[in-house]
Amino acid sequence: MAKDEDLKNLIAEEKQRGRKRPIDIAARQKRMKLLNAVRLTLKTGDGGGFAKILIDEIGLLPGSKGYNDALRWWRASRGTA
């Protein structure tokens, strides 16, 4: 499995060859990990897990505008607004 991932990363980097901005594989993997975590919390309805992602992964502080907006979005997506 690791070989497949390495191969995908290599192919993605090679596709960018000659372009102005190369792909940052680490940033891309971090973004995918974050998206998967958010999808999982949406699927399971884990509001506490979503709040933890906002704080730990994204760096939003409880009570900040971004944090409150994200929680408002969460509640709206769950139908609990």
Q: In this structure, is residue 14 part of a structural domain?
A: no
- pLDDT for 2: 72
**Domain containing 47: what range?**
25-81
pLDDT, tens only, 48-64: 999 999 999 889 999 99
> Considering its fold, how many domains does the chain have in total?
1
**Contact yes or no for 42/48 (Cβ under 8 A):** no
Q: In this structure, is residue 36 part of a structural domain?
A: yes
Distance CA 81, CA 79 (A): 6
When pLDDT is cut at 50, 70 and 90, the band that residue 65 belongs to is: very high
Distance CA 21, CA 7 (A): 20
Q: In this structure, is residue 54 part of a structural domain?
A: yes
**pTM of the predicted model over 0.95:** no
